[in-house]
Structure 1
Amino acid sequence: MAEPIIEVEDLVKHYPVTQGLLFKRELGRVKAVDGVNLHLDRGETLGVVGESGCGKSTLARLLLAAERPTSGTVRFEGRDIFALPRRELRALRRRIQMVLQDPYSSLNPRMTVGDIVGEPFAIHPEVAPKGQRRARVQELLELVGLDPDHVNRYPHQFSGGQRQRVGIARALALRPDVVVCDEPVSALDVSVQAQVMNLLEELQDELGLAYVFIAHDLAAVRHVSDRVAVMYLGKIVEMGDETRIYEHPTHPYTQALLSAVPVPDPERAGLDEQVVLEGEPPSPLDPPSGCRFRTRCWKAQDVCAAEEPALEAREGSSHPSACHFAAERAPGPVPDPWRPVQ
């Protein structure tokens, strides 16, 4: 098998919580990402799903080397990106780009769309000489379905979906191999979400891109992902290909998430058992001992508090799950809002 383009091993990111202005005293650490292992193959889409605050966006920043980890490694084509000299890391960043969540705040309102999409060329002038930049920007706008003659317009002159297309064009300017999409459609209307999701799929087929697609919308993740990683309180609790995760979830948290997805078919509404979680997620400043999900889990027993379950495939399970009592449970069909109900 070919070597994965990105490999993450024992990745940890803790943020210190301090008190005092002059003599800062550390009160504790927020465990945003706490021992994540995963890989991304060329040309595939890895979906990362979980509740707000589970560490998804922190993981995205670590993959981009926008932050340094407390410990652990991120290898790009076998090289640890945090051990690279600054010049090599700068060159590597050309190959890993990001599409941000909110198209209304991620674009500078004082810059034209042409300047926004062309800004990466100013940072990496070797990609496009000055005389070729306008033509290259127009090609990128056309690639994402926008009028190339609108290079002199400002972001406020575009709709939300069009602004997100501008953000995608900017991410593609340096011809990356990997694009990290941090909730790229959560701020858009459902009909516009479908257009942007379909565009991302078309670009992947055309350019051979690999995506890390981060979202809390389970239906959106299923629509684009080849494999799915479910995060809870800084850890991956279940991982597998899209079909196994959505049709045969084994971790109680995944089962609860899937049971809460609205079913658009009125003939099926209310037929599938719904799992209702009680309470709020624990604080990442002081997560529970053992299994972090045990305080909300209906399967929890004494062993769950004493021993942290490893992310591995257990008897009766077809894919890795971090649960002592992992067992497959069919949640019923998870709807895809971009495909008609059969």
Structure 2
Amino acid sequence: MNWISSVVRPKISSFWTKRDTPKNLWIKCPETGEMVFHRDLEQNGWVVPGSGFHMRMPVPARLDSLFDDGQYELLPLPQVPVDPLRFRDERRYQDRLRDAKAKTGREDAVTLAKGLLETLPVTVAIQDFAFMGGSLGMAAGEAIVKGAETAVADGTPYILFAASGGARMQEGILSLMQMPRTTAALIALREAGLPYVVVLTNPTTGGVTASYAMLGDVHIAEPGALIGFAGPRVIEQTIREKLPEGFQRAEYLHEHGMVDMVVHRHEMKATLARLLRILTHQAPPPVETPALPAPKAEVEVPAEPVATSAADAQTQTEAPADEEPATAAT
């Protein structure tokens, strides 16, 4: 081999080869089609800066934005039987679980954590839609129940971020049984006098909406979140009618009294802290005011004599220069 074939030709070929670039550098807004750089989206709390569309927020980012200084403790999840029905459709259920765990780095769709929310101890459960659509199975149900039990044991409020497509069909009736089990755990939480606040994110549908996602003391929704039992397309095909504009969206449900408030993601932490302090009858934390600078020392200026009359003033200003004392005549 000579230098022409071993050096020159590879150099020329390198100009025409296509470089591999990551596919997630730019993210498209589903609402407006705007392309947003992924770092700008992350810094803005996964909210598209132009349209305000709330993208799905990863669980670590949600935890960091919620707890004080991003400090929290992850709670271990209960162990449950894997694939008790040995379900198989196009693929085995065990293979789907393995792929979901490798994709998200999590054991199941629900993550439990506890920490301080503006100095207020709280227990938090977050559903990850990236894990098989956040579907409710035995593991997710056990996690919701354990979160409620932890809140009762620690005497803390319980916050749930819901994001799910419904019950997990691969577990059949065992998945549906999690609906009454989670309801019973939340009843125990209410009997303990502890607040339960639900944050409905996009989407929250199916059996999750029919159970613990709609049993909160306060229901908060993120803007534009899809919330309902069946999807709008299924409803239209069933009733054979056109649904109203914005049907099953957070703003529509708020107008019709199904959701208590719609809160922007940037204001979520402050809103949750304010609600929990009201529900637990706790005073807000003291506001630290900046120290004022010390006042400057005043310099005393000697006062000038003040003339009481024109004659006195003339006497004070015109003093005799060569005045000798008078002597007696001899």
The reply to whether TM is greater than 0.5 is no
Q: Which has the larger radius of gyration?
A: 2
Higher relative contact order (CA 8 A, sep 6+): 1
Structure 1 length as normaliser, TM-score?
0.30
Structure 2 length as normaliser, TM-score?
0.30
